[in-house]
Amino acid sequence: MSNERTRILVVDDEEIVRESLGGWLEKDGYSVHVAVDGFAALEKLKAERWSILIVDLKMPGMDGLQVLEEAKKLQPELAVVIMTAYATVDTAVAAMKLGAYDYLVKPFDPEELSLMMQKIVSQQTLVRENAVLRQALKREYRFRDLLSKSPAMQAVFELARTAARSNSTILVLGESGSGKEVLARAIHQESPRAEGPFVAVSCAALTESLLESELFGHEKGAFTGAIARRKGKFEAAHGGTLFLDEVGDIGSKLQLDLLRVLEERRFHRIGGNESVDVDVRIIAATNRDLKRAVGEGKFREDLFYRLNVIPILIPPLRDRREDIPLLVESFVERLSVEMKKRLDGVSSEAMSALMAHDWPGNVRELRNILERGAVVCTGPVIQLPDLGLPGKPDAAPRPGTLASLEEVERRHVSAVLAHTGGNVSQSARILGIDRVTLYNKMRKWGLRRDGEDEPPRDDNGAR
């Protein structure tokens, strides 16, 4: 980024300082503006975007720290440099706590000033470039509100884009929490029906009679409590998309009713004789194995094939762990905005735990765990304890992978030594054995460092 594009606001009640500082900065090619006090500076900050604010600490009415505090509220990304003729450690600490980039001590060294400005501009340029790169990566891996870099999901996105252009029925398959409804909404938004309604119905949440009324509506007096005509979801989705979630849970009567609607594109409201024509695109979803349900006689075969025109399978999150960092970054950014709380990401320890988790609840579980972490974290970085990840039960050993007792002991001793950095005394205390016994085990298993004839020294230099 050239200096000409970098806008600097200089705030000082002394004209000679404003002129000299402005002159030096303009000589370096910056666009420099000045303000005579903090109030005037805040007006300029409210009106325009600035790259750098250089403000004097001692000013009448509003001092530099007050200006700094208000400026960061208006433009959080602004680099603020505090000027002072009375630099103290307390002043510097207070300025840094409020978000100052650095401070300058009067009288200025023009060369020091120039280097500081170049450093700020370089860092701001790097931040912008990283942001652009992240956005580019997200666009590359995004299908509407879905984000993934895994080859399996990219194939899902490609099929979904192609299917969106048609009017065919789509069956979305996947585990709970894998994003079936999000994919259905994305397909709707990519389709020629995007201007029409998207209506979602959870088939598993209602009894069969309530679901029938919900889907097809009813006429006045059709049943007790039907005090007026009510349109159903099919009519509400006319011209758009009807998303039938957990369609595998509907009963046999509704399966037949649904089949008729799909074939005839018309139906009767409950208790009505009038035929209602609808133009609706159906996207159904299920976490059940419908083929097996058909084989077991629990789901109509003709309905299955009517729904399964374009099947799209969303792989579970545990099978596409490369997506986890991308999703974590995206969720943390959203949570930061929603909670109006600074969140820079998760710690490396927390990310390792997230990558190792099995995610039975898939993307929904990841989002919920990050929300918990965002709520309870006390700093800008979400730490591992903030996530409250459930303990992972020990996996059952597979045949042929069982280790001997000695091998288990060797691995544990090796892990403890690694944990203590090779400190024999500390390791022996953790293991509950004396140092000689530990040393003998180390010699037996070759856990000594190269060329080491004696056990490593402990904290006190003793062997």
Q: Rounded CA gap, 44 and 31, in Å? A: 14
pLDDT reading at 379 higher than 90: no
Q: What is the pTM of this model?
A: 0.59
Q: What is the pLDDT of residue 97?
A: 80
pLDDT reading at 273 higher than 90: no
Q: What is the pLDDT of residue 393?
A: 43
CB atoms within 10 A of CB 384: 17
Q: Rounded CA gap, 394 and 151, in Å? A: 30
Helix (H, G, I), strand (E, B) or coil at 240: coil
- At 276, phi and psi to the nearest 5? -110, 120
Give the rounded distance of the alpha carbon of 60 from its chain centre. 45
pLDDT range class, residue 426, cuts 50, 70, 90: confident
DSSP letters along 378-390, please? SSSEE-HHHH-PP
SS3 content of the chain, % helix, strand, coil (to 5): 50, 15, 35
Q: Rounded CA gap, 72 and 42, in Å? A: 10
| Least confident interval from 215-224, 294-303, 325-334 | 215-224
Q: Rounded CA gap, 374 and 342, in Å? A: 9
End-to-end CA distance of the chain: 59
DSSP letters along 99-163, please? T--EEEESSP-HHHHHHHHHHHHHHHHHHHHHHHHHHHHHHHHEETTEE--SHHHHHHHHHHHHH
Tokens of 245: 């979630």
Domains of the chain in sequence order: 7-135 (3.40.50.2300), 146-313 (3.40.50.300), 318-387 (1.10.8.60), 405-445 (1.10.10)
Q: Determine the average pLDDT of the residues in 260-284.
A: 92
